[in-house]
Structure 1
Amino acid sequence: MGHTVAGWTGPSIATMGFSVAGLGIVAVSGPVSAAGVAVIALSVIITWVLHLAGWGKPSGPRPADQWDWRVKDLTACRGHLDCVGFRTAGRRAAAAAEVGRPVPETVGAQP
């Protein structure tokens, strides 16, 4: 919940994007507003990549050695259970199998 490299980097970049977009609105400049929106979109991608690389951690209690925000998450290669970022990267099945839970069918899957 914000206590990771991904949790600080993404929102910081998004804040800059919102500032640029706001400047574009005040200046009535379409290109500046579009640049701000592009920076916001870039912040989502950067946050997702950092999370997948292990610089974001799952919600909930963690062992004391994982409390520091500069510690890389070693479970990221398997994926975090119920994590949208890992589900979109295809890592959810490994995390579910590890804890013995079935992986739910995807929306629109044929029986």
Structure 2
Amino acid sequence: MAGHLYDEGHTVAGWTGVGIATVGTAVVGVGVCAVSGVLLAGGLVIVGLGALVTWGLHLAGWGKPPGVRPKAEWGMRVRDPWARDGHPGCVGCRLAGRAPKALPVVSVPGPTVAGDGTGMEVRGAAVVGGGAGADVGRGAS
């Protein structure tokens, strides 16, 4: 059997957060069954703590940025060396003030769209024989 072809995103930050959140939801479940506001509140605090721990581990380099990564960085024990600079498109990094410097905005013209009125537009191509009298896609009138 061949190995995995894709990085499944397993990280120390992810597994730690899932473990803490699982304990928190179990406490919430016991609180629901026992009709205990203290257990409900305690479980929700534990779930929130799990989110904060996961975020902290991500910022410390034990999480991974969103998107495709090279195969050498797929392992769970591989620390992310670029975490201090922030990851592009990462909400957690943005919340921590680590958003990478924005790239300059470049104005690019949009694609050419040709339509014949049927709703079937062709992008980047010219419509051949689609003059005013053409009934393309509508059948005979």
TM-score calculated relative to the size of structure 2: 0.65
Structure ID, larger Rg: 2
Q: How many residues align?
A: 98
Aligned-pair Cα RMSD in Å: 1.5
Relative to structure 1, is the Cα distance of residues 84 and 28 closer, same or farther in structure 2, using a 3 angstrom cutoff?
same
Deviations 1:23-67, CA, capped at 9 Å, x for gaps: 011001111111101100100100000000000001222122211
Corresponding position of 2:58: 51
The answer on whether the counterparts of 1:52 and 1:76 sit within 8 Å (CA) in structure 2 is yes
1:64-75 counterparts in 2 under 5 A? 64-75=71-82
Q: Percent identity?
A: 55
The answer on whether the counterparts of 1:96 and 1:102 sit within 8 Å (CA) in structure 2 is no
The answer on whether the counterparts of 1:20 and 1:36 sit within 8 Å (CA) in structure 2 is yes
Structure 2 portions without partners, runs of 5+: 1-7, 106-141
Residues 1:88 and 2:129 aligned together? no
Corresponding position of 1:21: 28
After TM superposition, the runs of 4+ consecutive aligned structure 1 residues lying more than 3 A away are none
Larger fraction in helix: 1
Relative contact order (C-alpha < 8 Å, sep 6+): which is higher? 1
Q: Give the aligned residue type for 2:101.
A: A
